[in-house]
């Protein structure tokens, strides 16, 4: 079977207009701007309007990524949407977007790996491209977490935001694009971060809603300890697999969950601040959307350049984690 290099040809992102600041939250729950900032690094987040669903945000990000990649929706072979807040259980949000974009020849499916979902999607897309099965794959990370957080729970409602980030992947020059990856899961920690109600285990009932089973549930301290550990080990692993030293890394684009987790990873990799992409202060934790939105902003501002050595790393509910190393190259290779 053929073997091609798979890389990102274009990026795009979209966040809702509505800004919810820490000062706004002070009026809603017993918290303070200082408490949120010192413990998380978050200052504000974006909130979708009542009539905005995951597919609406994802569609806007997808259009921008297609434009950046200089291809049309008709050129797409596959659409992967990473989300834990789909429009509905089925059809998949990917199918809704496939129709809306007019991507007539594309297969489409959703992938559920929470905050690590976008990285799972990148790795899946890479396999299709590297083996020559598909030419162009659209991967979208999108979340509308505002619809599943309990706005009376001060421990969780301050953390999350809504948004969408997308990339188009295709063939790039040999030796560039995705160079190594790791994916992992530990289902024994599944209950630490979950949405208990609404599935076949606990279908939503009046009693379940009364118990708040339709709201996100998180054991913050346990998730924090897990996150610090796997951010470090997974970044180390992708470096080891490709034979890079820590000083070879030009940019780290981490999942934007908590500034203390990002700081721990930065120190472990011995990276200066300017090599770490952080937008957590403006958006909060957007789960699967956080890495692609941060990546898009860094690319569009000219910060990430052709030939840069980039590490993407994330972790999330499942528990899941993933990381990938890539040499940034957006020039598509012909046959």
Catalytic residues: 115, 255, 285
CA 214 to chain centre: 22
Q: CA-to-CA distance for 225 and 240, rounded, in angstroms?
A: 23
3-state secondary structure of 204: coil
Do β-strands 162-172 and 5-14 pair in parallel, antiparallel, or remain unpaired? antiparallel
Q: In the structure encoding, which two tokens stand for residue 311, read together?
A: 């590490």
The answer to whether the CB of 121 falls within 8 A of the CB of 314 is no
User: What are the residues whose beta carbons fall under 8 Å from the beta carbon of 221, sequence distance 6 or more?
Assistant: none
Q: CA-to-CA distance for 232 and 223, rounded, in angstroms?
A: 14
The answer to whether the CB of 125 falls within 8 A of the CB of 118 is no
Among candidate residues 7, 6, 11, the one with its CA nearest the CA of residue 301: 11
């Amino acid at each position: 079977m053929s073997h091609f290099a798979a890389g990102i040809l274009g990026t795009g992102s979209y966040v809702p207009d509505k800004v919810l600041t820490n000062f706004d939250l002070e009026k809603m729950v017993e918290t303070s701007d200082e408490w949120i900032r010192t413990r998380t690094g978050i200052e504000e987040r974006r909130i979708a309007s009542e009539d905005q669903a995951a597919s609406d945000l994802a569609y806007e990000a997808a259009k921008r990524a297609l434009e950046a990649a200089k291809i049309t929706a008709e050129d797409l072979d596959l659409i992967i949407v990473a989300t834990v807040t789909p429009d509905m259980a089925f059809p998949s949000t990917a199918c809704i977007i496939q129709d809306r974009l007019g991507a007539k020849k594309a297969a489409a499916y959703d992938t559920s790996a929470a905050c690590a979902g976008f990285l799972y999607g990148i790795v899946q897309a890479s396999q299709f491209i590297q083996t020559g099965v598909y030419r162009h794959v659209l991967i979208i990370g999108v979340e509308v977490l505002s619809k599943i957080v309990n706005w009376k729970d001060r421990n969780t409602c301050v953390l999350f935001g809504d948004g969408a980030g997308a990339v188009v992947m295709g063939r790039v020059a040999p030796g560039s694009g995705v160079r190594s990856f790791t994916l992992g899961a530990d289902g024994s920690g599944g209950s630490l971060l979950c949405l208990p109600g609404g599935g076949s285990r606990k279908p939503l009932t009046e009693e379940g809603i009364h118990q708040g089973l339709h709201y996100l549930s998180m054991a913050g301290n346990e998730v924090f300890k897990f996150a610090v550990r796997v951010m470090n080990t997974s970044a180390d692993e992708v470096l080891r697999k490709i034979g890079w030293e820590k000083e070879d890394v030009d940019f780290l684009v981490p999942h934007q969950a908590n500034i203390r987790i990002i700081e721990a990873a930065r120190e472990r990799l011995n990276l200066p601040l300017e090599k770490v992409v952080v937008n957590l202060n403006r958006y909060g934790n957007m789960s699967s959307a956080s890495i692609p939105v941060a990546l898009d902003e860094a690319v569009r501002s000219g910060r990430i350049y052709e030939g840069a050595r980039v590490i993407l790393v994330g972790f999330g509910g499942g528990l899941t984690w993933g990381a990938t190393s890539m040499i940034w190259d957006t020039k598509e290779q012909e046959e």
